[in-house]
């Protein structure tokens, strides 16, 4: 593990324990057993450290999703599996970061800025599966980019209730009807 990796891993633990607002660069330096000067060699401020922690978490999630995307399964099965695994991973992260819920709500705009790159990546992944489905006659979507974006917006709509822990229903009970809606639409086909 590099010095930067150690700082990021220890910072993640400190953020989980104290929350974003209460964590200081001194706390991160102490936890990583590095001097503050070393910390500032890699990061300009606490927000940069937090961004690196989030990027690491996104990489872990992307690594979990990669085998699904590159599998030989039909595109509809890939997409369904992808959506379910993504929601499972989100729920796991939410439980892990439960101590930071208050901080997240107070820093929602910062989090949305951090998510922009990941959102673009996710739109590309979904679009790739939709285009594969089009090519194989599974889907008939004219504008895969638009539909990918719409799907991401719908998926993100599930995140806040899950994150806040306000949704009593099992997330799989929530995601399955959404997936069915994506695949079948609203109108009964005759």
pLDDT tens by residue, 150-175: 999 888 877 766 666 665 556 667 77
More confident call, 182 vs 74 = 74
| Residue spans in the chain of domains classed CATH 1.10.357.10 | 47-184
pTM > 0.75: yes
Is 84 within 8 Å of 175 (Cβ atoms)? yes
Q: Per-residue confidence at 68, pLDDT binned at 50, 70, 90?
A: very high
Q: Using CA atoms, how far apart are residues 28 and 126, in angstroms rounded to an integer?
A: 36
Q: How far is CA 161 from CA 31, 52, 171, 178, in A?
A: 32, 25, 10, 15
Q: What's the N-to-C CA distance of the chain in angstroms?
A: 59
Dihedral sign of CA atoms 168, 172, 177, 178 in order: positive
At the top level of CATH, which class does the domain 47-184 belong to? mainly alpha
- Range(s) of the chain covered by CATH 1.10.10.60: 1-44
Buried/exposed code over 22-39 (b: 16+ C-beta within 10 A; e: otherwise): ebebebbbebbebeeebb
Rounded distance, CA 175 to CA 160, Å?
14
**pLDDT, tens digit, for every residue of 7-62?**
999 999 998 888 888 899 999 999 999 999 999 999 999 989 988 988 888 888 88
- In terms of CATH architecture, what is 1-44? Orthogonal Bundle (1.10)
- What pLDDT does residue 158 have? 74
Residue 142: its pLDDT value, please?
A: 93
List helix spans (H) across 1-107: 3-22, 25-32, 36-42, 46-69, 75-96, 101-106
Q: Residue 46 is encoded by which pair of tokens?
A: 């606490």
The mean pLDDT of 88-107, rounded to a whole number, is 63
CA distances to 13, 31, 163, 174, 188 from 90, in Å: 18, 26, 8, 14, 32
Chain centroid to Cα 170, Å, comes to: 19
pLDDT of residue 100: 58
Crossing angle of helices 108-135 and 144-164, rounded to 10°: 140
Closest by Cα among 118, 38, 122 to 79: 122
- Rounded CA gap, 86 and 13, in Å? 23
């Amino acid at each position: 593990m590099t010095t930067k990796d150690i700082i990021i891993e220890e910072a993640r633990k400190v953020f989980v324990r104290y929350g974003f607002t209460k964590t200081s660069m001194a706390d991160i330096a102490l936890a990583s057993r590095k001097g503050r000067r070393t910390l500032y060699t890699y990061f300009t401020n606490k927000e940069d450290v937090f961004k690196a922690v989030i990027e690491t978490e996104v990489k872990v999630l992307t690594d979990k999703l990669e085998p699904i995307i590159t599998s030989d399964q039909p595109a509809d099965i890939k997409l369904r599996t992808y959506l379910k695994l993504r929601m499972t991973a989100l729920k796991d992260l939410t439980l892990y970061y439960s101590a930071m819920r208050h901080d997240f709500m107070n820093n929602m705009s910062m989090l949305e800025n951090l998510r922009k790159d990941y959102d673009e990546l996710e739109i590309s992944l979904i679009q790739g599966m939709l285009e594969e489905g089009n090519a194989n006659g599974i889907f008939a979507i004219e504008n895969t980019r638009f539909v990918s974006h719409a799907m991401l917006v719908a998926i993100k709509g599930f995140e806040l209730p899950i994150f806040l822990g306000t949704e009593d229903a099992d997330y799989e009970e929530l995601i399955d009807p959404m997936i069915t809606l994506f695949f079948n639409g609203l109108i009964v086909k005759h």
